[in-house]
Structure 1
Amino acid sequence: MTGATVWLTGLPSAGKTTIAHELARTLRADGRRVEVLDGDEIREFLSAGLGFSREDRHTNVQRIGFVAELLARNGVLALVPVIAPFTDSREAVRKRHQGGGTAYLEVHVATPVEVCSVRDVKGLYAKQATGEISGLTGVDDPYEEPESPDLRIESQDQTVRESAAAVHALLNERGLA
C-alpha cells in the first residue's frame, strides 16, 4: 500500500489532533497502517530541549517531517497534527517528500483564533492573556497561513467526524486511502 504524509497545520486548539485521531480510527478500520505524530509527544521525546524560537520551531518541524517521510515511504499513512507556523518550514518538509517521491498533503485547519481561544484545550490562551506565557502562535507570535493547502477545514462549521471525512475523501481522491 502507498504511504503518505497528511500534515494538519493550524493554530493551537484548532482541532488538528482531534481530527487526526478520528481519521486514524477510520483508516485503521479500513485496514490501513496509520501513525499519528502528535506535536506534543514529539516535543517530549524527539525534540526535548528545543524551545520556541523560530530556529527551534524550524528544527522541530524538520525532525517531524523526516520521521513522517520515513513512515510514508514505507507504506504508512503518517498523520501529523503539528502547528508548523512558518511557510518555509512546511515547504522544506514538502520538498523532502517530493525528493523521495513520497505523497504529501497539507491540510489547513483554519479555525479562527477567537474559536481556538474559547476551546483552549491546554489553557494556553488563558495563560497568555494573564501574562503567564508569551509567544503563543497566532496571538503574539506569527502564524503564516498556507496560501494553497490541499484542503482547508473550518472546524467551527462542522463536526469532528465531518472534518475527518473531508480529509479521508481527499485521500481517496488522490488514490492514497
Structure 2
Amino acid sequence: MDRRKHITWSQSQVSKENRQKLHNHKSCMVWLTGLSGSGKSTIANIVQTKLYELNMSTYLLDGDNLRHGINKNLGFSSEDRKENIRRTAEIGKLFVDAGIVVLAALISPFEEDRKLARFLFTEDEFIEIYVECSLEECELRDPKGLYKKARLGEIKNFTGIDQIYEPPQSPDLVISTNSKSPEECANELVNYLIERLK
C-alpha cells in the first residue's frame, strides 16, 4: 500500500525567495566530491568560514558527521551509499529552501547517485565541485589511517581500493589539491561562488 497517496503537500506562506531576500543572497547546494583524503572537508570548512565572514548564511553537511546521526544506520555497501547520498541531498534541499548556502563534503563515489542528488534542485541551485586528487597522494596523506586499514583488509568497500570512484563527467568546477594548498583551493571556490550567488 502506497501511504503517500494520503499525504498532501503543505505550502509555506514564506517562500524560498523571501528567505533569500532576508539573507541577502541566493541559496544553493555546493556538493564537494572526491576520494577520501582529497581535502573535501578541509576546503569546505575554510569556505564556510570565509562565507560567514562575508555575512553569508551557511551550513556544512560533512559525510562523517552525518554518519554519527541521521545516517548512523548505514554502512558502505553500494545500496547504503546511495541512501546516504539521498538523505544528504534531501537535507540540503531543506537548507536551500531556507535560503542558506549549504556545503556537502562526501566521497559520493557514483555518478548516478550524484545525478539523482542534482535532480532534487533547480538547475542553478546545485553546484558540483570535483575535489581532484590522485589516489597515490590521498594514500600518502591518509589523515585518518583508513587507506592503511583498507590495504590490510580491515575495511571493506573502501573507495579507491576495493570500490571504484567515478569522477564527475561534467562538474561545475574542478579543484586540484595535488599541488595547491587548502587555502588556495578554498579561495578558488569562494571566488567562484560569489560570482554564482550574485
Same fold (TM over 0.5): yes
Given the alignment of the two structures, is residue 79 of structure 1 paired with residue 103 of structure 2, yes or no? yes
Contact 2:151 2:161 in 1 (8 A): no
- 2:166 pairs, out of 144, 157, 163, with 144
The residue type paired with residue 80 of structure 1 is A
Q: How does 1:31-110 map to 2 (within 5 A)?
A: 31-98=55-122, 103-110=125-132
- The 4+ residue runs of structure 1 with deviation greater than 3 A are none
Offset at 1:173?
2.3
Q: Is 1:118 aligned to 2:140, yes or no? A: yes
Conservation of the 8 A alpha-carbon contact between 2:39 and 2:131: yes
Structure 2 CA distance, aligned partners of 1:157 and 1:102? Answer: 29
Spell out, residue by residue over 1:94-136, the C-alpha distance to the aligned partner (whole angstroms, 9 max, x if none). Answer: 01012xx661100000100100001111111010122211211
Q: Output aligned runs, 1:11-26, within 5 Å.
A: 11-26=35-50
Equivalent-residue separation in structure 1 for 2:51 and 2:44 (angstroms): 10
Secondary structure of the corresponding residue to residue 178 of structure 2: helix
Using the alignment, how far apart are the partners of 2:156 and 2:67 within structure 1?
18
Conservation of the 8 A alpha-carbon contact between 2:133 and 2:177: yes
CA distance in 1: counterparts of 2:97 and 2:190, whole angstroms: 19
Paired residue for 1:155? Answer: 177
CA-based RMSD of the aligned residues comes to 1.2
Is contact 1:19-1:164 (8 Å) kept? yes
User: Which of 139-148 and 7-16 deviates more?
Assistant: 139-148
Query: How many positions carry a matched residue from both structures?
Result: 174
Q: Which amino acid aligns with 1:142?
A: I
The 2-side partners of 1:57 and 1:133 are apart by 15
Bigger radius of gyration? 2
- How many angstroms does 1:156 deviate by? 1.5
Matches of 2:154 and 2:160 in 1, distance apart?
16
Compute the TM-score of the two structures, normalised by the length of structure 1.
0.95
